[in-house]
Chain A
Amino acid sequence: MDLARLAREGDESAFEEIMRRYSRRVFHYASKFFRQRSLVEEAAQEVFLKAFTELGSFEGRGSMEGWLTRITTNTCLNMLRSSRRRPELTVSDLTDDETTWLDNNLAAAATERHQSTERSSAAADLAGRVLQTLTPDDRLVLTLIDGEDASVDEVVKMTGWSKSKVKVRAFRARRRMRESVEKLLQRKDKG
């Protein structure tokens, strides 16, 4: 709260300290929305510029981290909504690496041996592209709940949405993503 008060009074070093403490968190959170580093950085910049101008609205009742997370959510969702591109993913879009990853993990799924191998950039690319077919709100909820095991309450805190909205979004997004992947697998088998 002291840092926020000092920054509000125009102390630049106090605001710099706020950025030092929370920029990793803001980057981490913005990374859930965008796959390109440039977009994550653009969003993070906008978050801190907004935070500086809205410092007056931070009353110190909640945590600074929670307040910044809320600003990050709104900023990223606005950026995504303004781009509004949700192309349908087709098999022909898959790279060789992505197809190989799908084949390996399908085999693993069939035998219930879930692969927890080293990070695969092909999988991350494919995940990003499948998620792009969902709405920004659906994408966020699904990434948080299914991707990071966040609870519904945590998502409510981060987004400011109601509990029922988060639950409905998660249900719908899960169905859409599954159907999207199922279609992709079926087309891949046929192709």
Chain B
Amino acid sequence: MSDHIISLIENASLASLSPSDLTAIRRHTDDCVDCRRAFEAAQISMLLLRERAAEIFEPSPFFHTKVLAMLRERQTAAGQWAWSRVWRAAGALASSMVLTVAALAALTFIPGSQAISGPQELTSLNSYSAEEVLLDQGEALNGQVSEAQILTTLYGAEDEAAK
């Protein structure tokens, strides 16, 4: 019978028990201390839940304004975030374009990167020309060989051939 009482008070809210169920419980709890305790605890539980249910909070007069402000704040933040993403993407594109243009300019205008077309250009590009090397060597010989001698040695044969 004890089980029966427990199941009665656990299967449904006490408020929904029929008069016959309550009579059965009363009859049983007169003799059964455990079930009486359980029934009392169930009654207290129900009273506590009713008290709890009666406690309700109302929105403050500023609630709507507050939520709208939060919404605007979130939308602004979301907008800023979207713009920052666009700017970041655009920035990456712009920097890659600048790099490409710079690379193309380097290939076009910087002499070192030009294609070498002939021996004359090679000579002019070379900072150590034959004349310089020989003249430097002449200086190293402490004036034993004059600049004129060097130049004659270099270009004399050409001049004679031209004549």
- Name which of B62-70, B93-101, B127-135 contacts chain A: B62-70
Q: Do A182 and B41 have beta carbons less than 8 Å apart?
A: yes
Q: Do A126 and B38 have beta carbons less than 8 Å apart?
A: no
A142 to B53, CA, bound (A): 10
Q: Do A124 and B59 have beta carbons less than 8 Å apart?
A: no
Q: Do B68 and A12 have beta carbons less than 8 Å apart?
A: yes
Instruction: List the B side residues contacting A86 at CB < 8 Å.
Output: none
State the main secondary structure of chain B at its contact with A: helix
Instruction: List the A side residues contacting B41 at CB < 8 Å.
Output: 178-179, 181-182, 185
Among A49, A130, A182, chain B packs the most CB atoms within 10 A around the CB of A182
Shortest distance between the CB of B125 and any CB in chain A (Å) = 68
A40 at the interface (CB under 8 A from B): yes
Instruction: List the B side residues contacting A31 at CB < 8 Å.
Output: 55-57
A133-174: which residues lie under 8 A (CB-CB) from chain B? Answer: 142-143, 145-149, 171, 174
Binding site for B on A (CB under 8 A): 12, 15-16, 19-20, 23-24, 26-28, 30-32, 35, 37, 40-41, 44-45, 48-49, 52, 102, 105-106, 109-110, 112, 114-115, 119-120, 123-124, 126-128, 130-131, 142-143, 145-149, 171, 174-175, 177-179, 181-182, 185-186
Binding site for A on B (CB under 8 A): 9-11, 13-16, 26, 37-60, 63-64, 66-68, 70-71, 74
